[in-house]
Structure 1
Amino acid sequence: MTPVTGPEADGSVLAVDVGGTTMKGSIVDGTGRLRHTVVVPSRVADGADPVEAVRVLCRRLRDDALTLGATPAGIGVVTPGIIDEAAGVVRYASNIRFRDVPLRALIGDDLGLPVAVGHDARAAGIAEAVAGAGRGLDNFLLLPLGTGIAATVVVHGLPVPGTTWSAGEVGHMPVHPGGEPCSCGQRGCLEVYASAGGLARRYVRLGGAPGLDSRAIAEAYETDPLARSVWDDATEALGLALATLTLTLDPARIVLGGGLAQAGEQLFGPVRKALAAALAWRDAPELLPSAFGATAAQVGAAVLARRAAGLPVPDGWGALAPVAS
């Protein structure tokens, strides 16, 4: 851990990415470098209060920053779900059991700092637009593939929130009508088949040994027929969903991020093939991995924190952040 001292303390911010499995908090200095990161369980599965867990992490991160000699100017907190970013309220997030949580007010009271609350996928899209795989593009899509799946729809350089702040919830796009049940109450959702969490759950549901995550399933592709079947279902479902999004939005590029994208060509190859096969009369858009990997939402949260604090965000800011796998 490198202390944040001297000139680099100016403009430092805090960034928190709340996921269904873990929460990641970082201190980001004025140049966009992640100087210190804390990863803790989300506490959803053990019945603890998930809102309090977020508040505890934010307070811990603020204290860590002060110990390291940094005086944070603001904090950005991003979560999945339906986020009213103007009000700073998480309206609904099934993966983390949030409903109508006034997160900006709660954290602002705790820390006494400017607070930005945003959607994790849209924040990741902001990071890619400022300094990553979407830099210089007016129109692109980003899909982080993690515990769930959401998309950032960037149009004219800005992420689209939608009328009810729920644009991009493509994880609940039906890809198999009448298919397997989803936690949202629908059936056949993309998230069931092609998210990292969905892959692992399907593998067990179909008779596989428990304990394998999506990475282990990918590694077992050549030796385990069930792993192969689950993986092939995932790439086919993802290719179909991307074709629908392509025909709807005509993006210049599609960027895949999150932990599942770390599988590299094992994921990208069959998804490109499925996408192209579903587009009979037009070429598929370019399909690329995220420049930031699993760190994208944190970098985006830091951008939101700087904006909330009234600090500039130059083009390319955050490009020095490490890529997390």
Structure 2
Amino acid sequence: MIALQVGAAFIQGCVVGPDGSPHSRERWFTRPERGPDAVLESVLACAASLAERCRPTAAGVALPGVVDDASGRAVHATALGWHGIPVQDWVAEHLDLPVAVGHDGRTGGLAEARAGAGSDCRNFLYISVGDGITAAAIVDGRAVQGDHDGMGGLGGTGDRGGTGEHSGTGELGHIVVRPEDGEPCHCGRHGCLETVASTTAVTRRYARMTGWRGITAREVYHRADAGDPHARVVCLDAADALIGVLATAVRRHSPERVVIAGEPAAAGASRLTALGATLAGRLASPAVPEFRPAHFGDMAGCVGAAFLARDRALENSKATAG
């Protein structure tokens, strides 16, 4: 099985074994400034490159934005310049394989539910913090569906200005958290969570304060833990914004656990402990979910897409046999 996760900064890919473990990991620059057609050509080329390394029976693709899982279309992926792109059909034709397409928040949650940090948990929230911020509420191994999202409607018009094309799609990063003085977001609004708490925002804001360029968000987190005052301001602001949105999801879904993928988890256990303590301060209820790092890390979306692809291949096989 092969899988891709397409993001605004990178396209990640891997070959996924029968046990769900990712192998032959690759990462390519997305470079969306080249235009939507060029990004699609890159996705097709990356998929073909992975397929050459094994004999895949199916392929999975995880996408940001608004995704129609049934048809495999990227309805709106503003960061990629995609609107109404039939990704599933293009990749299937290019590889001559069954292809499954899903939202990267939902596929990441699926991976952690089946073989990761949520496999022993009936009800959990999956959050991925990278160049975008996505989420899914998982109950009994499936994403809660509400307004065709992975968060049961989180991000709708009642949630701090979260309106527009990303509302209710699992795109947690496009909930507005700084409506008065927020920075512009590529979705067209100002003050989205992504402009404060994404890895891109953390490094950009730190560089603006210090003049340091080229360091990663993980390094900014480590500098904050070491006492760097500028890093502490950036990281505390990011955590405050993230927990503000997460508290709404916890109140709505009452999860047993929060599984986090991305730099806040990769920066170390102390970072997750701090997030849990901040969340506890926001909740009136004493029942605070435990925080765990995603087992598959930033590859969770890829692994979950591979699981979707495996399901699709089995469905096709049964239909053919029947």
| TM exceeding 0.5 | yes
TM class by shorter chain equals: 0.7 to 0.9
User: How big is the alpha-carbon RMSD for the aligned residues of Structure 1 and Structure 2?
Assistant: 2.0
What letter is aligned with 1:125?
A: G
Cα distance, 1:258 vs structure 2: 1.8
1:60 aligns with 2:44: no
Q: Does 1:100 align with 2:81?
A: no
CA contact (8 A) 1:151 1:169 kept: yes
Q: Does 1:51 align with 2:51?
A: no
Output the TM-score relative to the length of structure 2: 0.85
1:255-274 alignment to 2 at 5 Å? 255-274=259-278
- Alignment match of 1:41 (pick from 29, 32, 40): 29
C-alpha displacement of 1:206: 4.3
SS in 1 for 2:125: strand
- The aligned residue for residue 27 of structure 1 is 15
CA distance in 2: counterparts of 1:137 and 1:224, whole angstroms: 37
The aligned amino acid for 2:14 is S
Q: Tell me, yes or no, if structure 1 residue 220 matches structure 2 residue 208.
A: no
In structure 2, the partner of 1:163 is 147
Structure having the larger proportion of residues in helix: 2
CA distance in 2, matches of 1:137, 1:269: 19
Q: Give matches, 1:225-236, under 5 Å.
A: 225-236=229-240
Tell me the CA shift for residue 311 of structure 1. 7.0
Change (3 A) 1:161 1:42: farther
Is the Cα–Cα contact under 8 Å of residues 161 and 167 in structure 1 kept in the other structure?
no
CA distance in 1, matches of 2:76, 2:206: 28
2:243 counterpart residue number = 239
Tell whether the 8 Å contact from 1:43 to 1:53 is kept in structure 2 after alignment: no
- 1-structure distance, mates of 2:176, 2:219: 26
1:80 Cα offset (Å): 1.1
Which of 294, 306, 311 is equivalent to 2:310?
306
Q: Tell me if the contact between 2:111 and 2:303 (Cα under 8 Å) persists in the aligned partners.
A: yes
Matched residues in 1 for 2:107 and 2:283: separation? Answer: 29
- Counterpart amino acid of 2:49? R
Q: SS in structure 1 opposite 2:111?
A: helix
Q: TM-score, normalised by structure 1?
A: 0.84
Contact 2:256 2:289 in 1 (8 A): yes
Of 132, 142, 145 in structure 1, the residue corresponding to residue 126 of structure 2 is 142
Which residue pairs with 1:317 in the alignment?
A: none
Tell me the distance in 2 between the aligned counterparts of 1:164 and 1:146: 22
Q: Which residue of 1 aligns with 2:186?
A: 183
Post-superposition CA distance 1:226-252 (Å, at most 9, x none): 211101111122222221111121111
Letter of the 2:11 counterpart: M
Q: Output the CA distance in 1 between the equivalents of 2:53 and 2:232.
A: 44
Alpha-carbon distance in 1 for matches of 2:206, 2:248: 26
Residue 276 of structure 1 pairs with residue 274 of structure 2: no
Alignment partners' CA distance in 2, 1:196 and 1:174: 17
> Secondary structure in 1 aligned to 2:132?
coil
Q: Distance in 2 between matches of 1:278 and 1:106?
A: 45
Structure 1 stretches of 5 or more lacking a match? 1-12, 66-70, 313-325
Distance 1:310 1:75 in 2: 12
The more displaced of 228-237 and 165-174 is: 165-174
CA distance in 2, matches of 1:200, 1:137: 34
After superposition, give the CA deviation of every residue in 1:11-47 in whole Å (9 maximum; x if it has no partner): xx11111122211222223343333222211122455
* Distance in 2 of aligned mates of 1:60 and 1:135: 31
